[in-house]
C-alpha cells in the first residue's frame, strides 16, 4: 500500500533523476565564479535603467553645470568657451537675493503650516479603528492624486474678486477679497497642494508608535501636552522630518502655484528661473540658479537621511 | 554509478551507496567558517537528524545538500553522483522549509503541483499525482483553498505533500515542527516517522530540539560551531556521548569532574573513588556522566556493593507532575536527581541530608 | 493598538475632530465649488448664473484642447510602459543582487525625486539643445523637439518613482518563496514569472499608476521640451489660465479632475482584488 504506485500508467516518469554526468567538486574558485556570475546578472538587469539615467539625467545635470559657467552673448545665445563665474555672481544681486529669501521664507511658512495642521490630523487618523482609518485615508488620497494644475486653478477661481470667497467677505462687511496675487495666496496654494505629503509620512510614523507608551505616560500623571512633547513628538520625529522635507523641497522650487496664484508681484525662484529661459534668454544665469537650487535640496535630503530617514 | 535507490515500491532493499555522501565539506562566509570540514554518509532509507544549537552549521549543511548554497570546498554526492556544484533545480532533492514557504497567491492544488509543472509533467498526471499527495497527508478536500486559509499544522502537511509529490531521492526538512504547539508537534513527529517508513525515502532533518531528534531519528549527527562532533544512533548518543558538549546537549546530565587514577578507577574532586574502566592514561581530566534518572536518592545511609555514592543536602525540589527533580548540593557542585512520581517514591524535604547513589555500570566517561 | 487612554477624549477629542473636519473641508470645498461653477451659466467663473452644460459642449468642440488630450494620452501611455519596465528591473537589481556600482546606482535613482521640476525642465532643455545639435552635426538629421523629447523626459523622472514602489513590495516579499520555487525545479526565469512577478504585481501596478499620474500632471518639464504641435493638456491649460480665467478652463479642469479620480478608484478596486492597500503599495 504505497502511494507511489501508479499501476494504470506506464512507469511514472522519474522525477528529476540523478545527473547524467558528475558535476564538479566544490572549490573556492567555483564559489567565487558563481558569485561573480550572480553579480553580473544583477548588473545586467540594472543596466537598462542605469544607462537611461546616466544618459538622460546625469549628463543633463552636468550640462546644466557647464552652462552655468558660460556667458550670454549679445544675441542671447550661450558661449561655452570661456568658463567664468559671472552667472553665479548674479546670485549676489539684491534682486535675486530678495527672490531667493522670499522663496525660502514662503517654503518654510508652508512647511510649518502643513505641520501644524497635519500632525493633529495624523494622530486622529492613527487612533481610529482600522475600517474608519482606511476610509479616511482613501479620502485623503483622492485630492492627492487629482491633477495638480486643477487644484491650483480652483483657488484661482475661489479667490478671484468675483469669486465665492470675495462674495462671502463682502457679505460679512469685510470688503472685497484682495488675497489673490499676494504671497498669502501662494502659501495657501502650496499648503493645499502639499498637505497630503505631510499627512502620509506623519501618519505612517505615528501609526508605528506603540500607543501603549502614550497610555503609560498618562498613567504616570503626564498631561496631554507633556505626553505630546516628551513621548509622541520624539517618537514620531522621523515622520516629522520626512514630511517636512517632502513639503519644503517642492515648495522652494514651486513654479505652477506662484504663477497661477502669485501674479507679477510675487516672483519666486521657480518663475525667475523660467523667465531666464523663456524671456530674458540668459541661460547661464538660469543654469546657475537651477544648479544652486538643486544643491540646496540635495543638502536637505542628505540631512534627512542622516537623521535616520528610510525610504521617502 | 547506477541508480538503484528509487523504484515503484518501497519494499526493495535499500541501496549500498549512501543516499547523501558528504566529504570534506567546508562553507565559509567571508571570515566566518559556518561548516568546518565535515564528512558523513547518510544511508538510503535513513531518518537522519542534524542536531545542534543555533549557529552550529546544521542549516547551512542542509542548504548545501538542497543546493541553496554552494560549498566552499568539498564533495557532495547523491547516490554516488557529484552534485555539490549543481543548482537546486537540477538535484533530485526537495525541501520542506521552516515556515513552509507556501506560495500565497496559488491555491493548494497549484502549490502542490508546482514542482511537477516545472518538470513539464502532463496536466492529467499532475492532477492525479497531486490528489495522491494530498491523500497521503490527509488533506484531500483542501485543493481549492489558499494557504492563508489553512492552520499551521495543515500548512506543514501541504509543504510536505508539495515536496513528496516529486518523488525526490532525498527529502530535506528544515526545523519542520518548530512553529507548532506541543501536542501538534508530537502528533506530527509520529506521522513523519510512519510516512518515512512507508515511503522508504531518505529523510534528513534539521532541529535544535534534542528530544525530537531522539524520538524520530535512526541516526543523529551532533554539530557545534561548524564541526561534526558525533554521528550515532540515538541510544549511542545518549549513553555514550563522545564529549562534554554532546553529553550536556542531549538530555539532562550531571557532569562529575575527576581524574583518572589508574586503569580501573577514577578519582572525583571530592576524593571519592569510582570504579570505572576508562582505558585512559592516569592523570587525564575526565567527567563522569550521571543522568539524573540513573541516580537514586535517599536519606543518609551506607552504600551498597556495586554502587557508588556522594553525600549532600537537598537544596530545592521541582515537581513536574510525572516526576520529581531534586537539586542536591554537594560540597563542590550541585546534582540533579530525577525520580518518577510513583506512590512509593521517597518524599524528601528541602534541607534533608541525603545520599545520592548509582549503579557503577550506569555511567559513562568523557575526557574532552 | 489599545483603546483606552491613548485615544483622545473630551476637549482634545473635540479639537482633533474639528481639525479633521476642517482638513476634509479644506480639501474638498475648492474641488466641489469648481464642479458647481462648471455648470454655471455665467461668463464670470466664480458667479452662479443658472444651470447649463454649455461649457462642456464647448470643451468637446474645442479642437486644440482635444488635440492636447490626445497628445497627453500618447505621452502618458508611452512613458508609463517604459518607466514601469525599467523601474521594475532597477528595483529587482537593487533588492535581489549585489554588484559593483550599486550604491551609485541607488543614489542616482533617488535624484530625480528630490530635484524640483524647474531644474528638471532646465536640464532636459539644455540637454536636448546640445543633443539635437550634435545629431544634426554628426548625422545631418534635423530632429525637432516634440513628442519624443517629452516622452524621454517623462521617463527620466518616472523610473525612480516606479522603482521605489516596487522595491518596497519586493523587500516585503519572503525570499524563501523564491528558494522554494528553485527547490521545486523552476529555472530563474520561471521563478520570476510564476512566483516573484505575481507577488509584486500590486507594487508594479501602483508604480504604473504613479507614473501615469506624474506624466499626465506634468507642466514645467513638458513646457520646456515640447515643440510646436505637441502640447499636452496641462501645458495648454496652463497657458490658457495665464491669459485669464474662463468657464471653458473650468469645464476642462473638471474633466481632468474626474479622470484622475476615476483612475484612483479604478486602482483601488484592483488593489482590493489583489489584496493590498493603496497607501501601502502606491506610496
pLDDT tens per residue across span C255-269: 988 888 888 888 777
The yes-or-no verdict on residue B276 having pLDDT over 90 is no
Q: Do A18 and B79 touch (CB under 8 A)?
A: yes
The yes-or-no verdict on residue B146 having pLDDT over 90 is yes
Across B144-152, average pLDDT:
92
Nearest CB to C185: which of B99, B101, B119?
B119
- In order along its 312 residues, chain A shows pLDDT tens digits of 344 444 444 444 445 676 667 778 888 889 999 999 999 999 999 999 999 999 999 999 999 988 888 887 766 677 777 777 777 887 788 888 888 899 999 999 999 999 999 999 998 888 888 888 888 888 888 888 888 888 998 888 888 777 777 777 777 777 666 777 888 889 999 999 999 989 988 888 888 887 788 788 878 877 777 777 888 888 888 888 888 888 998 899 899 999 888 877 778 889 889 988 888 788 888 888 899 888 888 887 787 777 655 544
Q: Which helix (H) or strand (E) holds B76?
A: strand B73-78
Q: Do A26 and B166 touch (CB under 8 A)?
A: no
B177-191 residue pLDDT tens: 888 888 888 989 999
Which domains, ranges and CATH numbers included, belong to chain A?
29-68 (no CATH), 89-306 (1.10.3720.10)
CATH 2.40.50.140 in chain B, residues?
Answer: 252-366
Nearest CB to A25: which of B9, B84, B198?
B84
Partners of C194 on chain B (C-beta within 8 Å) are 114
Q: Do C122 and A273 touch (CB under 8 A)?
A: yes
pLDDT at A310: 52
Across B22-26, average pLDDT:
94
Phi, psi of C40, deg, nearest 5: -90, 130
pLDDT at A9: 40
Q: Do C182 and B68 touch (CB under 8 A)?
A: yes
What is this model's ipTM?
Answer: 0.87
Which subunits have 3 or more CB–CB pairs within 8 Å of chain C? A, B
Q: Do C116 and A274 touch (CB under 8 A)?
A: no
d(CA C23, CA A122): 11
| Bridge-based pairing state of the strands B73-78 and B81-82 | antiparallel
B296-349 residue pLDDT tens: 888 887 777 778 888 899 999 999 888 899 999 988 889 999 988 888 777 788
Phi, psi of A251, deg, nearest 5: -65, -40
Partners of C86 on chain A (C-beta within 8 Å) are 48-49, 52
Fold of C60-282: MetI-like fold (1.10.3720)
Interacting residues of C263 by C-beta distance below 8 A, sequence separation 6+: A145, C209, C212, C213
Q: Quick one: closest CA in B to C189, which residue?
A: B118
Q: Decide if C172 touches A, using CB distance below 8 A.
A: no
Residues 223-262 of B with CB under 8 A from A: none
d(CA A11, CA A6): 8
Q: Decide if C186 touches B, using CB distance below 8 A.
A: yes
pLDDT at B5: 38
For the full predicted model, state whether its pTM sits above 0.90: no
Inter-CA distances, B343 with B317, B322, B340, Å? 17, 11, 9
Q: What nine digits make up the cell of B331?
A: 560540597
Interacting residues of B30 by C-beta distance below 8 A, sequence separation 6+: none
d(CA C163, CA C152): 17
The superfamily CATH assigns to domain B20-244 is P-loop containing nucleotide triphosphate hydrolases (3.40.50.300)
B43-84 residue pLDDT tens: 999 999 999 999 899 999 999 999 999 999 999 999 988 998
Q: Quick one: closest CA in A to C211, which residue?
A: A145
Nearest 5°: CA angle at A277, between A274 and A282?
120
Nearest CB to C250: which of A146, A149, A157?
A157
pLDDT at B133: 94
CATH class for the domain made up of B252-366 = mainly beta
Among A57, A142, A198, A291, most C C-beta atoms within 10 A, so best to mutate, is A57
Amino acid at each position: 500500500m504505497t502511494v507511489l504506485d501508479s499501476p494504470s500508467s506506464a512507469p511514472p516518469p522519474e522525477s528529476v533523476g540523478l545527473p547524467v554526468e558528475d558535476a564538479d567538486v566544490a572549490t573556492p574558485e567555483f564559489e567565487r565564479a558563481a558569485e561573480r556570475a550572480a553579480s553580473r546578472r544583477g548588473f545586467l538587469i540594472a543596466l537598462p535603467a542605469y544607462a537611461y539615467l546616466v544618459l538622460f539625467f546625469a549628463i543633463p545635470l552636468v550640462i546644466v553645470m557647464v552652462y552655468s559657467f558660460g556667458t550670454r552673448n549679445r544675441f542671447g545665445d550661450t558661449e561655452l568657451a570661456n568658463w567664468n563665474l559671472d552667472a553665479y555672481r548674479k546670485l549676489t544681486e539684491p534682486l535675486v537675493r530678495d527672490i531667493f529669501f522670499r522663496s525660502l521664507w514662503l517654503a518654510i511658512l508652508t512647511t510649518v503650516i502643513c505641520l501644524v495642521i497635519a500632525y493633529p490630523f495624523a494622530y486622529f487618523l492613527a487612533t481610529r479603528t482600522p475600517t474608519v482609518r482606511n476610509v479616511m485615508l482613501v479620502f485623503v488620497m483622492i485630492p492627492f492624486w487629482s491633477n495638480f494644475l486643477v487644484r491650483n486653478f480652483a483657488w484661482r477661481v475661489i479667490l478671484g474678486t468675483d469669486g465665492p470667497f470675495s462674495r462671502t467677505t463682502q457679505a460679512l462687511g469685510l470688503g472685497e477679497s484682495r488675497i489673490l496675487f499676494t504671497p498669502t495666496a501662494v502659501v495657501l496654494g502650496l499648503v493645499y497642494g502639499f498637505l497630503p505629503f505631510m499627512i502620509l509620512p506623519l501618519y505612517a510614523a505615528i501609526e508605528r508608535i506603540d500607543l501603549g507608551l502614550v497610555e503609560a505616560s498618562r498613567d504616570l500623571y503626564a498631561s496631554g501636552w507633556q505626553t505630546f512633547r516628551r513621548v509622541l513628538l520624539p517618537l514620531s520625529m522621523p515622520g516629522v522630518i520626512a514630511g517636512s522635507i517632502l513639503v519644503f523641497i517642492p515648495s522652494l522650487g514651486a513654479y505652477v502655484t506662484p504663477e497661477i496664484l502669485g501674479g507679477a508681484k510675487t516672483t519666486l525662484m521657480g518663475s525667475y528661473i523660467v523667465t531666464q529661459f523663456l524671456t530674458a534668454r540668459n541661460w547661464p544665469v538660469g543654469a546657475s540658479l537651477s544648479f544652486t537650487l538643486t544643491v540646496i535640496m540635495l543638502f536637505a535630503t542628505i540631512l534627512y537621511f542622516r537623521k535616520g530617514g528610510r525610504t521617502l | 554509478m547506477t541508480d538503484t535507490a528509487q523504484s515503484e515500491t518501497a519494499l526493495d532493499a535499500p541501496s549500498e551507496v549512501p543516499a547523501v555522501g558528504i566529504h570534506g565539506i567546508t562553507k565559509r562566509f567571508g571570515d566566518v567558517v559556518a561548516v568546518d570540514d565535515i564528512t558523513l554518509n547518510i544511508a538510503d532509507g535513513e531518518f537522519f537528524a542534524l542536531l545542534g544549537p543555533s549557529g552550529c552549521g546544521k542549516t547551512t549543511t542542509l542548504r548545501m545538500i538542497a543546493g541553496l548554497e554552494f560549498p566552499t570546498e568539498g564533495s557532495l554526492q547523491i547516490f554516488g553522483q557529484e552534485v555539490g556544484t549543481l543548482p537546486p533545480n537540477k538535484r533530485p532533492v526537495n525541501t520542506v522549509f521552516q515556515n513552509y514557504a507556501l506560495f500565497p497567491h496559488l491555491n493548494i492544488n497549484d502549490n502542490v503541483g508546482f514542482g511537477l509543472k516545472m518538470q513539464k509533467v502532463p496536466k492529467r498526471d499532475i492532477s492525479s499525482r497531486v490528489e495522491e499527495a494530498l491523500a497521503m497527508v490527509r488533506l484531500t478536500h483542501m485543493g481549492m483553498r489558499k494557504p492563508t486559509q489553512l492552520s499551521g499544522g495543515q500548512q506543514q502537511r501541504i509543504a510536505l505533500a508539495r515536496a513528496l509529490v516529486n518523488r525526490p531521492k532525498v527529502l530535506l526538512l528544515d526545523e519542520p515542527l518548530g512553529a507548532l504547539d506541543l501536542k501538534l508537534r508530537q502528533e506530527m513527529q509520529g506521522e513523519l516517522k510512519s510516512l518515512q517508513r512507508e515511503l522508504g525515502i531518505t529523510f534528513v532533518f534539521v532541529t535544535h530540539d534534542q528530544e525530537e531528534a531522539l524520538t524520530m531519528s535512526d541516526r543523529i549527527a551532533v554539530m557545534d560551531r561548524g564541526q561534526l562532533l558525533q554521528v550515532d544512533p540515538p541510544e549511542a548518543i545518549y549513553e555514550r556521548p563522545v564529549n562534554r558538549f554532546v553529553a550536556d546537549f542531549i538530555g539532562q546530565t550531571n557532569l562529575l569532574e575527576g581524574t583518572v587514577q589508574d586503569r580501573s578507577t577514577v578519582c572525583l574532586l571530592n576524593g571519592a573513588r569510582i570504579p570505572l574502566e576508562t582505558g585512559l592514561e592516569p592523570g587525564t581530566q575526565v567527567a563522569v556522566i550521571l543522568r539524573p534518572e540513573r541516580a537514586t536518592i535517599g536519606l543518609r545511609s551506607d552504600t551498597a556493593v556495586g554502587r557508588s555514592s556522594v553525600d549532600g543536602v537537598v537544596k530545592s525540589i521541582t515537581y513536574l507532575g510525572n516526576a520529581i527533580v531534586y537539586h542536591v548540593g554537594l560540597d563542590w557542585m550541585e546534582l540533579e536527581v530525577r525520580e518518577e512520581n510513583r506512590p512509593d517514591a521517597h518524599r524528601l524535604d528541602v534541607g534533608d541530608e541525603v545520599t545520592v547513589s548509582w549503579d557503577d555500570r550506569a555511567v559513562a566517561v568523557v575526557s574532552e | 493598538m489599545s483603546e483606552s487612554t491613548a485615544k483622545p477624549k473630551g476637549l482634545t477629542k473635540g479639537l482633533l475632530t474639528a481639525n479633521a473636519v476642517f482638513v476634509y473641508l479644506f480639501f474638498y470645498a475648492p474641488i466641489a465649488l469648481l464642479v458647481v461653477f462648471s455648470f454655471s451659466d455665467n461668463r464670470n467663473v466664480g458667479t452662479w448664473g443658472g444651470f447649463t452644460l454649455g461649457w462642456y459642449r464647448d470643451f468637446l468642440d474645442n479642437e486644440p484642447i482635444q488635440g492636447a488630450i490626445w497628445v497627453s494620452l500618447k505621452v502618458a501611455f508611452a512613458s508609463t510602459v517604459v518607466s514601469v519596465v525599467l523601474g521594475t528591473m532597477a528595483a529587482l537589481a537593487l533588492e535581489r543582487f549585489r554588484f559593483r556600482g550599486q550604491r551609485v546606482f541607488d543614489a542616482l535613482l533617488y535624484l530625480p525625486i528630490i530635484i524640483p521640476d524647474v531644474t528638471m525642465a532646465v536640464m532636459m532643455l539644455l540637454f536636448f539643445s546640445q543633443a539635437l545639435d550634435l545629431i544634426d552635426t554628426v548625422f545631418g538629421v534635423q530632429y525637432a523637439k516634440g513628442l519624443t523629447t517629452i516622452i524621454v523626459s517623462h521617463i527620466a523622472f518616472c523610473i525612480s518613482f516606479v522603482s521605489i514602489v516596487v522595491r518596497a513590495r519586493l523587500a516585503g516579499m519572503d525570499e524563501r518563496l523564491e528558494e522554494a520555487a528553485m527547490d521545486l525545479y523552476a529555472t530563474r526565469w520561471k521563478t520570476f514569472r510564476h512566483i516573484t512577478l505575481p507577488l509584486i504585481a500590486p507594487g508594479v501596478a501602483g508604480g504604473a499608476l504613479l507614473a501615469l499620474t506624474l506624466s499626465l500632471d506634468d507642466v514645467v518639464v513638458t513646457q520646456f521640451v515640447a515643440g510646436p504641435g505637441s502640447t499636452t493638456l496641462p501645458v495648454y491649460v496652463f497657458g490658457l489660465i495665464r491669459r485669464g480665467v474662463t468657464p471653458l478652463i473650468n469645464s476642462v479642469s473638471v474633466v481632468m479632475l474626474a479622470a484622475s479620480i476615476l483612475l484612483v478608484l479604478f486602482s483601488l478596486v484592483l488593489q482590493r482584488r489583489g489584496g493590498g492597500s493603496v497607501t501601502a503599495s502606491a506610496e
